[in-house]
Structures are given as C-alpha cells and as structure tokens.
Structure 1
Amino acid sequence: MHKLVVLYPEPTDRDAFTAYYEATHLPLAAKLPGLIRWQYTTNVSPQADGTPAPYFAVFEAEFASAEDFANAMGSPEGQAVAQDVPNYATGGAIVLDYAVTEGTKS
C-alpha cells in the first residue's frame, strides 16, 4: 500500500478554500488512475493545549503501490490535480507520499 497525504496550512479565506476544494479540486483528485480510496477533513482539532492546529485541512489517498502512485501523478489527471493547487491553497500545501507498513493490534 502507498499513501499520499496533503497538509494544508491556514488559507487566507476558509470559506473560499472549502467551496473550491469540494466543488472543483476533490472531483479532479477522485479521477486519479489507480486511486483506491481517499478522504479529507477541513475540521482539524486544536492541539491538546487548545492552540489552533498547524493545518487547516488534510487529504489522504491510497494506492496499491508506489508505481501506481507515480503513474497517477504522471497522468493527465495527476497533472491537472497538481496544477489546480494554487487556485485554492493560499497557505500552500505540504505533500507527503510513503509506503505503508501494516501493524497489528497486540
């Protein structure tokens, strides 16, 4: 399993971010070839001491392998997703991708 996580710092306008993200960006991301599952939130909890979280939104996507992820991001759909980020992410975006090591409950 290979995972993509995108962390979004606080945008200039939360409502504009959310409206664009949900109506335009997420439908683009949902078209990524090889995508198994995706989820997101714009409701990140404050830190334990009550200070705001360092991120406003989080997106997670799963692919079967690193090769599937690379193929998805290199595809026309992947290029469209990457090129769309500046249209809404005024606070920028931190992109992480990694192989997942499964664990078991002891």
Structure 2
Amino acid sequence: MAKLIALYKKPANPAAFDDYYFTRHIPLAKKIRQLRGYEVNATPLATPAGPSETYHLAAILSFDSMADLQAALGSPEGAATAADLGNFASGGVELLFFDTKEV
C-alpha cells in the first residue's frame, strides 16, 4: 500500500479553510479513481509538547501501490485536486509520499 500525507499549515481563517476543505476539496479528491482511503485528523493536531503551532490538518490518502499513487497524481482528477490547493490552503501544505510495509 502507498500513502500520501498532506500536512496543512495553519490557515489565515481556519473556519473558512474547514468549510472549503470538507465541502469542496474532499469531494473533488474522492473523484480520483485510484484512491482507496481518505482519512483526516478527528481532533486538533498535537505534538509531545502540546498543541501544534504549525499544522492545522493532516490528511492521509491510501492507494494500492506507488504506481497507483503516481497515476492518480498524473490523472485529470489528480491535477484538478492539486490545482484546488491554491483556493483554500493559505498557510501552505507539505506533501509526503511513501510505500508502507507491515512490521
């Protein structure tokens, strides 16, 4: 399985971010054919020292393989989802990709 983690930094307007993200961005991303799972944090992000001062939201997207993840990013739906980031992610976003294994 392959994962894409999107770490969204604190936006200028958290309420507007959340409204846009949940009503527009997620439905757009869920059109990606290769997407197998989509999770977001259910509670505020925290660090061992307390609440995160940097990040507002973490999203974890699952794909069957790295090849599927790469195909998703290159698809029209993936391109539309990536282009949508500028519409709401005012604080910026970090994207991480990796394959997973059971240990």
Q: Which has the higher strand share?
A: 2
Further displaced range: 1-10 or 51-60: 51-60
Runs ≥4 residues deviating over 2 A: 41-54
Bigger Rg, structure 1 or 2: 1
User: Among the aligned pairs, what percent are the same residue?
Assistant: 35
Query: Does residue 95 of structure 1 match 2:95?
Result: yes
Aligned partner letter, 1:89 = A
Counterpart residue number, 1:31: 31
Distance 1:84 1:42, change over 3 A: farther
Give, in whole Å, the separation in 1 of the partners of 2:42 and 2:21. 10
Aligned partner letter, 2:77 = E
CA-based RMSD of the aligned residues comes to 1.4
Deviation at 1:42, TM superposition (A): 6.4
Query: Does residue 17 of structure 1 match 2:17?
Result: yes
Unaligned runs of 5+ in 1: none
Deviation at 1:33, TM superposition (A): 1.3
- In structure 1, the residue corresponding to 2:62 is in which secondary structure? strand
Distance 1:8 1:20, change over 3 A: same
Distance 1:28 1:51, change over 3 A: closer
Deviation at 1:41, TM superposition (A): 2.5
Aligned partner letter, 2:73 = M
Q: Which TM-score applies when normalising by structure 2?
A: 0.92
Give, in whole Å, the separation in 2 of the partners of 1:66 and 1:51. 32
Number of equivalent positions: 103
Deviation at 1:47, TM superposition (A): 2.8
Give, in whole Å, the separation in 2 of the partners of 1:14 and 1:46. 16
Q: Which TM-score applies when normalising by structure 1?
A: 0.89
Cα contact 1:7–1:58 (8 A) shared by 2: yes
Cα contact 1:42–1:57 (8 A) shared by 2: no
